[in-house]
Amino acid sequence: MFVSAIIAAGGRSLRFGAAQPKQFVIVGGRAVLERSVATFVEHPQIDELVVALPPHLAADPPPYLRSRGDKPVRVVEGGERRQDSVTNAFRAIGARADLVVVHDAARPFATANLISRTIAAASADGAAIAALAARDTVKQSEQGRIRATLPRESIFLAQTPQAFRRDVLRDALALAEDATDEAELAERAGHAVRIVEGEATNIKITTPEDLIIAEAIARGGKPARTGRAGVGYDLHRLVEGRALVLGGVTIPFERGLAGHSDADAVCHAITDAVLGAAAAGDIGRHFPDTDPRWRNASSIELLRRAAEIVRERGLEVCNVDATIIAERPKLASYVEAMCANVAGALGVAPECVSIKGKTNEGVGELGRGEAIAAHAVALLRSL
């Protein structure tokens, strides 16, 4: 059975009221959308993934929406309504798809077990949704007054994932009517929909207040802990005959930085900041210039190893901020790529990395263009 998954992430999050859509807000060090996507990409029964993004973001999606291995990840433009986004994604799924799983990007904590149970139910019955039985007494109101008390054993709160045979979802999406989810459309199209027991932690992030609960779930119920900060600094002379590498980006320039590795001053400063926050020594202790293994080594890889060292100590990187001091070349057009490289090495979202370029106003060896330096600050927290 070939199973396709659709992540509905095309909404504008008007109820959320933040500067960016809720699917891109950071929870537990990772974007909400990244968490949702990772759950499906890593699920053994999912064969492909299609993500519907807001139109202005679909052309330049974040790095975590790239295909991984032999599992394709496609990005399509979302629409005005939820079902418009799902319809666009449905058109992009592979011809071999037997079953389609639809999931809200704003539910970042669905488990692999819940996905498996929903797939199994839909495979048997044609359509299935995750839903929670109501625990409280349910009242129906009219103009602010109770009209009736409903039997709570018949009330379920719908969640996602929702899974459908391909033909069932096609029938559902063919309806032009407004609906809050695909299961409602499937019902209107005459299909029976089975309920699978949902999960209390499978919350939907709708308002900023939901982020408090989401952070607690991301920490696994552990109380918040004070972060640990570290600072880093590095300086290398500019010399002829070397490539200039900063933040893992090779920058066209007539000179490069002298050093045992690729002499990437940005990565070296961030590495020292990360190791220092964990009280784990410095870059020279772990990657000494007397060791031939590190000759011409990629400093992005050294940074990746430093992140592994701090994780072994029960810590993870929250964010880093770095400043490059260079009279020349101009670095503004390379900063975004640097942030992406550093974020990938540290295992955080690009939004958690800040890199800035400054000059030294012509003062000293930096101002004379004889060297390039970098300062960095890193914040870690307990896993």
Q: What is residue 110's predicted lDDT score, i.e. its pLDDT? A: 95
Instruction: Tell me how far apart the alpha carbons of residues 139 and 148 are, in angstroms, rounded to a whole number.
Output: 6
pLDDT under 50: residue ranges of the chain: none
Q: What is residue 44's predicted lDDT score, i.e. its pLDDT? A: 93
Q: What is residue 225's predicted lDDT score, i.e. its pLDDT? A: 55
Q: What is residue 364's predicted lDDT score, i.e. its pLDDT? A: 92
Q: What is the pLDDT of residues 117-137, one digit of tens each?
A: 999 999 999 999 999 999 999
Q: What is residue 64's predicted lDDT score, i.e. its pLDDT? A: 83
Write down all domains in the chain, each with its CATH number in brackets.
3-218 (3.90.550.10), 228-382 (3.30.1330.50)
Q: How much is the pTM?
A: 0.61
Distances, alpha carbon 185 to alpha carbons 94, 172, 173, 221, in Å? 22, 5, 7, 36
Contacts of 63 (CB under 8 A, 6+ apart): 340, 343, 344, 350
Q: What is residue 381's predicted lDDT score, i.e. its pLDDT? A: 86
Q: What is residue 14's predicted lDDT score, i.e. its pLDDT? A: 53
Distances, alpha carbon 209 to alpha carbons 18, 159, 315, in Å? 12, 19, 26
Q: What is residue 190's predicted lDDT score, i.e. its pLDDT? A: 96
